[in-house]
Amino acid sequence: MRALISLVIVGLCLSVGAVLAEESSPPDVQEIVKKANLVAYYQADDGKARVTMTITPKQGPKRKREFNILRKDVADGGDQNYYVYFLNPPDLRKMVYMVHKHVDTDDDRWLYMPAIDRVNRVAAGDKRTSFVGSDFLYEDVSGRGLDEDVHELTATTENRYIVKNTPKTPEAVEFSTFTVAIDKTNYVPMKMEFFDKSGELYRTIESTEVKDVDGFATVLKSVVKDLRTGSQTEMAFSKVEYNIGLKDIFQERYLKRAPSEARR
C-alpha cells in the first residue's frame, strides 16, 4: 500500500512539474500567430454568416449595414476567397465586395456599385481604408498576411498570449506596431491595439462574444473603436454555417449577378 501511495505521489509530482514546465515554456511565437490566424480566418473549408454592422459616431445618428459574407479556402492557411453581398440599407443593396486573398502577392479586390452599375478594382494601397463608411478597414475583413510583420511574444498572462507585431514595410501602413491578445485555450484573437507613429494608442478591435459553432470557436460580436474620433463600429454575426460546400462563386461575372448562395 505504501509503495502504491508513493507511486501516486510521484506521478502527481511529475504531472505538476510537466504543467509548470509547459507554463514556463510557451509555444514559439510563429506557432501562436499561425494558430490564431487559422482560427480567425480559416475555420473549416468554407463558411457563411449574416452580419449586422452598427456604426456609432461620437455625434450624430447610428447607421446600420447588413450583409452576407461567404468564404472559401483555396489552401488552409493560404490563398482564399471572400464574397460580401449587401442587403441593407437600400442605397447599398446588391453592392458586392469580393476578395481573392493571396499569401505571396497583393490581394485582388473588387467592389461592385449597383447605383452606377460599375465594378471598380480596390487598389492594394486602399486596403487600410474604411470599409463602407465604418471603423473597420478593408484589410480587417479578410485579414493581414502573417509575413507582413515581425512577431514578438512580449507577455504571457494566465489566459492570454500577448504578441507585438511590427510591419516589415512601415511606410506602407499608418501604424508603427500593433499588439494582439490571443486566448491560450482556443487561440481566438481577443483584442488588438494599434499604435501610431508616435507610439500613441489610437485604434482597438475587440472580440466581445465568442461561442462554439459546429465545433469551431467563433467570434459572434466584434467591436472596433477609433480613439481619435470617438467613433465605434460593432459587427454581430448570425446564421453562421461551416462546410456548406460553396461552389466557385468568386468570379467577376458574379459581381453584377449575385448567386443565390449570397442573396439568401
CB 53 within 8 A of CB 233: yes
What's the pLDDT band for 13 if we cut at 50, 70, 90?
Answer: very low
**Pick from 5-19, 76-90, 208-222: least confident:** 5-19
**Pick from 58-62, 91-95, 120-124: least confident:** 120-124
Q: What is the reported pLDDT for 143? A: 87
Residue whose C-alpha cell reads 514595410 in the numeric block:
169
176-215 burial, b at 16+ Cβ within 10 Å, e below that, comes to ebbbbbbbbeebbbbbbbbbeeeeeebbbbbbeebeebee
What backbone phi and psi angles, to 5 degrees, belong to 168?
Answer: -75, -25
What's the pLDDT band for 125 if we cut at 50, 70, 90?
Answer: confident
Bridge partners for 201 per DSSP: 195
Percent of all residues in the chain with a pLDDT value above 70, rounded to a whole number: 91
Distances (CA, A) of 92 to 97, 116, 121: 11, 11, 17
What pTM value is reported for the model? Answer: 0.86
Q: Cα angle vertex 264, ends 48, 77, to 5°?
A: 15
What's the pLDDT band for 1 if we cut at 50, 70, 90?
Answer: very low
> Is the pLDDT assigned to residue 8 strictly greater than 90?
no
pLDDT in tens, 20-46: 444 557 789 999 999 999 999 999 999
Q: What is the reported pLDDT for 25? A: 72
* Per-residue cell: 197: 507613429
Q: What is the reported pLDDT for 245? A: 95
> Is the pLDDT assigned to residue 14 strictly greater than 90?
no
More confident residue, 104 or 158: 158
Say whether 111 sits in a helix, a strand or coil. Answer: strand
In angstroms, the CA 60 to CA 183 distance is 35
Mean pLDDT of the chain: 90
CB 81 within 8 A of CB 247: no
Say whether 216 sits in a helix, a strand or coil. Answer: strand
pLDDT in tens, 79-110: 999 999 999 999 999 999 999 999 888 899 99
In angstroms, the CA 76 to CA 59 distance is 42
What 8-state DSSP symbol labels residue 140? Answer: H
Range 29-263 has CATH code 2.50.20.10: yes
Between the two ends of the chain, the Cα-to-Cα distance in Å is 67
Percent of all residues in the chain with a pLDDT value above 90, rounded to a whole number: 81
> Is the pLDDT assigned to residue 17 strictly greater than 70?
no
CB 80 within 8 A of CB 87: no
Name the CA radius of gyration of the chain, rounded.
21
In angstroms, the CA 44 to CA 242 distance is 6
* Per-residue cell: 71: 468564404
